[in-house]
Amino acid sequence: MSTITKSYQTLVGKLEEISHLNGVMATIGWDHQVMMPSGAAEIRSEQIAALAGVIHERMTDPHLEDCLDVLKEENITSLSKIERCNIIEARRNVTLEAKVPKRLVQEMAKLSSQSHLIWVAARQENKFSDFAPILKRFLELKKEWAQCVFPGMDPYDANIDNFERGTVKDEITPIFARLKDELIPLIKAVQDSSYQPNTSFLHGKFPVKKQEMLARQISQDIGFQFDQGRMDVSVHPFCGGSHPTDVRITTRYQESNFIESLYAVIHETGHGLYEQGRMLEGRSLPASESLTMGIHESQSLFWERMIAQSKPFCSHYFETIRATFPENLAGESATSFYQAINSCKPDFIRVEADELTYPLHVILRYEIECGLFDGSISVDDLPGIWGELMFKYLGVKPPTDTLGVLQDSHWSGGAFGYFPSYTLGAIYACQFYRSMVKELPDTEENISTGNFVPIKNWLNEKIHCQGRLCTPQELVMQVTGEKLNPDYFVSYLNKKYTEIYRLS
Amino acid sequence: MSTITKSYQTLVGKLEEISHLNGVMATIGWDHQVMMPSGAAEIRSEQIAALAGVIHERMTDPHLEDCLDVLKEENITSLSKIERCNIIEARRNVTLEAKVPKRLVQEMAKLSSQSHLIWVAARQENKFSDFAPILKRFLELKKEWAQCVFPGMDPYDANIDNFERGTVKDEITPIFARLKDELIPLIKAVQDSSYQPNTSFLHGKFPVKKQEMLARQISQDIGFQFDQGRMDVSVHPFCGGSHPTDVRITTRYQESNFIESLYAVIHETGHGLYEQGRMLEGRSLPASESLTMGIHESQSLFWERMIAQSKPFCSHYFETIRATFPENLAGESATSFYQAINSCKPDFIRVEADELTYPLHVILRYEIECGLFDGSISVDDLPGIWGELMFKYLGVKPPTDTLGVLQDSHWSGGAFGYFPSYTLGAIYACQFYRSMVKELPDTEENISTGNFVPIKNWLNEKIHCQGRLCTPQELVMQVTGEKLNPDYFVSYLNKKYTEIYRLS
């Protein structure tokens, strides 16, 4: 056996072990949010810390570095594309892990676990000043982190890179500027329209048991494999799990509103289909993993918005939904249902926002993060700035910080640079959808007859199976023939909301 | 700081890390049986193997041995009893771990994971010959294991020690002989009695939802803390979880039979109360851990049999149970209920056996294991021997191996020496109960009014909090003033069944 082959095999063994331990951590993390009794919180954080320590140890194992030293770019030309990708990804991960001093890792982990509770309390009590010191400290730590991992890079770009590799402010800012230019007037027009869809029938009493049955059926119809996954309840919907054969989505139920839960399930199913659809080769190796947060979000939004908020989807499922909640939907039609679930109303809370106002919530956070990192915004000024920007972009002003700057958990975990992924994902989703319709002209008909197989297969082949073999930039080029282009998103929204609100 | 204090602190850090990793493993194990989608079986075994490898590595960490070398018996007289116990237990665990060569560990683990499926298939197809080679190989490996860990000891004693530390054949055999002498004629008399309790009302239709509500209420009434535990459904009821603050019991439901599930919940609650009741000091250290399988079983059987199958318990709960299933229990009374749930009928399956016939199921397996280890019984002869002994002890002969030698999973996992713990537990439970009633004369009255607090507190103090500070032999002496004595168990059964079946 050649040195290269031998080193590669050793590398694979080590990477697989790390992947298995990460899989254990993912299961524990899911359990934490879905199953764990409240009294176990303290011991669970000890257990997580112990396992995290082991994983860090494995990631910084000198033998792993030795393998990577042998497997330099110039030596591995004989290996396959996937094998080379595994090496490159492993090198990146190992390098990033090694660059952060243990002290910083520990301080971030500790702050993160403390700050969550402080954020929860501050949000509950509407007291931003209690949370501000944490936020300041996290900013310092995340700037230091950026300095460690990408010394030459702008610190906020480095934080974005953590979630959206290869994407920088210089690319995002003009895209978001374009969205502001287009969407702010569109939202205004929608609000001013004399025609407003009736949404009253979406409020009422919808038994949770029936909601669950409906959600489970639709999730399965669009392709979620329940023998390789689960669906449960958690405080915030998410997609977790330890492996493509163990994908776990969650939702939450309110008896007064079935749409939120149903579309959360479809959203998380989109994430789940990405995971279940990963390449069959080397599923415990980095090349098979999902690409970035933005691409992941493109998959959840693809199903939630491009498919499930479309007319053909509503026309296919309306009878089923009406049969599930006959009293509530007796007098309605597929069209009135379509209009109601797509109604637009500027409001305070991001996670409850419709697809038209959602980007403005993201842009606001993006601009604040830019300012926090370049020093033009100080933490203490956040509540004021938040209110101003909300009013400027959406015409509403949150009456409390609880409904404003304290609403999201991201900053309490130090996740700066994450928010842009949501809207990048929406833009990707729209652009992917357009390419799919070109290649599969029967798509709308298929949706309206409940045949989701060609759609799932297309996404499996074009995106899920690609793993990390290319960058997001290369992927969008490969799938759509051009780079990320917000035009499609803008014209999709314009067309859709002009029609629903009878604007033209 | 003295060298001793320093070494002890280092030891504690390492033991806590191991405990946390074992806690993660326990959660993963629970997930495996309760939550995991079937398609994840393959990756899960890889994940478990990876974590097991880490734990083994930690257990055989040379620095751990260094600490233990410093903390020799003669050096640690200044430490507390609990601290000394932690050291002694750690030394034992480390020594046992180190004595087994990696090759043997791996072969046992591999055989165990393969053999489970082979056993399942053999049981399904009633083909003992498919399982026999596995059983032979496991016997060889377990003899080799015994030779490694306790070179001077009888190999079957070594295997018993694995579950029931300090208990040997020489102690068990006469106890079991006594039980045979007493119970075989008693069972015969019960069967021949002209009075047979009516059990027909225990069969019928009992909605699972109602069963669950009832079980949850009773489990909570007797003391299970649901903020530090859970109750779920699995194929076989068990008590798992990762820590005293994270105790997870399971049951299974059949619509046609609520007693089996209800008493499984009470049984597992008994195990759960042991775990939740562990000492408050050093809960991630070995001194706080439960003592042996037999003592654990004494706690589950204490609640299941001594408490929940008693007259005062039936009289307290009968109205609640009748209100839960009014159609089925309309014409019954607390007395008829008490008699019905305590009816005795020799049958093939151990896990479904009543308390009177159960010991014979265990004794049969114990005698077979003795014979397999001393060579007087060969694996190929097992089906025949099984049938003979069943007929001799219980007067029934299983028509198939599925209902006979293939019924239990224990041997497929190489768990020889485990079975005696069930009946030792029953004897302990009876002896403990007798001491408790002496110390708390109001016990029966308390049970009949649903006041279980004094009972739980007594068990917490006398048994659960004792951890591993003494041996089982010392514990029974400490709690009851004498050594393990089957007299109480025998006379309890004699009295109870003579009365129910009107034998005298």
How confident is the model at residue B497, as a pLDDT?
Answer: 98
From the list A24, A54, A284, which residue is nearest B28 (CB)?
A24
pLDDT in tens, A376-385: 999 999 999 9
Q: Compute CA distances B73 → A133, A485, B91, B95, B187, whole Å.
A: 50, 73, 11, 15, 51
The answer to whether the beta carbons of residues A452 and A222 sit under 8 Å apart is yes
Report the catalytic residues of A.
268
Residue B231 β-bridge partners: B249
Max alpha carbon distance in chain A (Å)?
75
pLDDT of B117 reads 85
- State the catalytic residues of B: 268
Predicted local confidence at residue A262, as pLDDT: 98
C-alpha dihedral (A301, A306, A308, A309), degrees to nearest 10 = 110
**Residue A6: band (very low, low, confident or very high) from pLDDT cuts 50, 70, 90:** very high
SS3 B242: strand
In this prediction, residue B116 has a pLDDT band, given cuts at 50, 70 and 90, of confident
Write the DSSP assignment of A131-187 as a string of letters.
Answer: HHHHHHHHHHHHHHHHHHH-TTS-HHHHHHHHHSTT--HHHHHHHHHHHHHHHHHHH
CB within 8 Å: A50 and B21 = yes
- Looking at residues A296-310, what average pLDDT do you find? 98
**Per-residue confidence at B427, pLDDT binned at 50, 70, 90?**
very high
pLDDT in the model for residue A453: 98
- At B110, the pLDDT band (50, 70, 90 cuts) reads confident
Q: Is pLDDT at B1 greater than 80 in this prediction?
A: no
Rounded Cα–Cα distance for residues B447 and B455 (Å): 9
Query: A-chain residues within 8 Å CB-CB of B51?
Result: 20-21, 24
In sequence order, the β-bridge partners of residue B229 are: B247
Instruction: Give yes or no for residue A75 having a pLDDT over 90.
Output: no
The kind and range of the H/E element at B443 are helix B443-448
Residue A104 has pLDDT above 80, yes or no: yes
> What mean pLDDT is reported for chain B?
96
Question: Is a pLDDT exceeding 90 seen at residue A175?
Answer: yes
Q: Could you tell me what percent of chain A has a pLDDT over 90?
A: 94
Element (H, E) at A502: none
**pLDDT tens per residue across span B122-180:** 999 999 999 999 999 999 999 999 999 999 999 999 999 999 999 999 999 999 999 99
How confident is the model over A388-398, as a mean pLDDT? Answer: 97
Judged by a CB distance cut-off of 8 A, whether residue A38 touches chain B is yes
Higher local confidence (pLDDT), B423 or A116: B423
- Closest approach of B329 to chain A, Cα-based (Å): 29
The DSSP element (H or E) to which B249 belongs, if any, is strand B246-251
Q: Is the pLDDT of residue B282 over 90?
A: yes
> Which one-letter amino acid corresponds to residue B423?
T
Q: What percent of chain A has pLDDT over 70?
A: 100
Q: Which of A245, A278, A283, A284 to mutate to test the interface with B (most CBs of B within 10 A)?
A: A245
Whether A246 contacts B40, CB under 8 Å: yes
Measured at the CA of A108, the angle between CA A235 and CA B54, to 5 degrees, comes to: 85
The verdict on B20 touching A (C-beta cutoff 8 Å) is yes
Residue A40 sits at the chain B interface (C-beta within 8 Å) = yes
What pLDDT, in 10s, does the model give residues A407-429? 999 999 999 999 999 999 999 99
Q: What is the DSSP code string of A51-108?
A: HHHHHHHHHT-HHHHHHHHHT-GGG-TTS-HHHHHHHHHHHHHHHHHHHS-HHHHHHH
Q: Give dist(CA A33, CA A36) in Å, integer.
A: 7
Is pLDDT above 90 for B211?
A: yes
In angstroms, what is the C-alpha Rg of chain B?
23
Q: What is the pTM of this model?
A: 0.94
The pLDDT of residue A102 is: 85
Q: What is the mean pLDDT of residues A143-170?
A: 96
User: In chain B, what residues touch A50 (CB-CB under 8 Å)?
Assistant: 16-17, 20-21, 24
Tell me if chain A has a CB within 8 Å of the CB of B51.
Answer: yes
pLDDT score at B183: 98
Residue A1: pLDDT above 80? no
pLDDT at A114 over 90: no
Average pLDDT (A288-317) is 98
Cβ burial, residue B80 (10 Å; 0-12/13-18/19+): exposed
C-beta separation of B482 from B474 below 8 A: no
pLDDT at A48: 92
pLDDT at B212 over 90: yes
For residue A248, what are the β-bridge partners?
Answer: A230, A240
Q: Tell me the chain B residues in contact with residue A280 when contact means C-beta distances shorter than 8 Å.
A: none
Give the pLDDT mean for A36-56.
93
Percent of the residues in chain B that have a pLDDT greater than 70, as a whole number = 100
The H or E element spanning position A16 is helix A3-34
- B43, B226, B232, best to mutate vs chain A, most A CBs in 10 Å: B43
Residue A462, pLDDT score? 98
- For residues A397 and A347, the answer to whether their CB atoms sit within 8 Å is no
Closest chain B residue to A39 measured between Cα atoms?
B228
Is the pLDDT reported for residue A459 higher than 90? yes
Q: What is the pLDDT of residue B112?
A: 84
Using the Cα atoms of residue B144, residue B173, residue B390 and residue B339 in order, give the sign of their dihedral.
Answer: negative
CA B252, distance to chain mean position in Å, is 17
Q: How confident is the model at residue A110 (pLDDT cuts 50, 70, 90)?
A: confident
Chain A residues inside the 8 Å CB shell of B28: 24, 27-28
Question: Quick count: other Cβ atoms within 10 Å of Cβ A403?
Answer: 18
Mutate to test the interface with B, among A25, A246, A284, A285 (most CBs of B within 10 A): A246
Residues B226-259 pLDDT 10s = 999 999 999 899 999 999 999 999 999 999 999 9
pLDDT value at residue B106: 84
Model pLDDT, residue B504: 80
Instruction: Please check whether residue A120 is in contact with residue A132, taking contact to mean a CB–CB distance below 8 angstroms.
Output: no
> What does the pLDDT look like over A357-370, one tens digit per residue?
999 999 999 999 99
> Cα angle vertex B206, ends B202, B212, to 5°?
110
Closest C-alpha among B165, B167, B160 to residue B366? B160
The arithmetic mean of pLDDT across residues B445-474, rounded, is 97
CA atoms of B290 and B428, how far apart (whole Å): 15
pLDDT of A493 > 90? The answer is yes
The pair phi, psi for residue B247, each rounded to 5°, is -105, 130
Amino acid in the structure at residue B221: D
Predicted ipTM of the assembly: 0.93
Tokens of B434: 């007798």
Q: What pLDDT shows up at residue A196? A: 97
Distance CA B501, CA B344 (A): 9
What is the Cα–Cα distance from A33 to A30, expressed in whole angstroms?
A: 5
List of residues 6+ apart from A79 with CB closer than 8 A: A4, A8, A87
Lowest mean pLDDT of A103-112, A445-454, B487-496, name the range. A103-112
Mean pLDDT of A318-326: 98
Domain ranges of chain B: 3-99, 200-333+437-466
* pLDDT (average), residues A11-29: 97
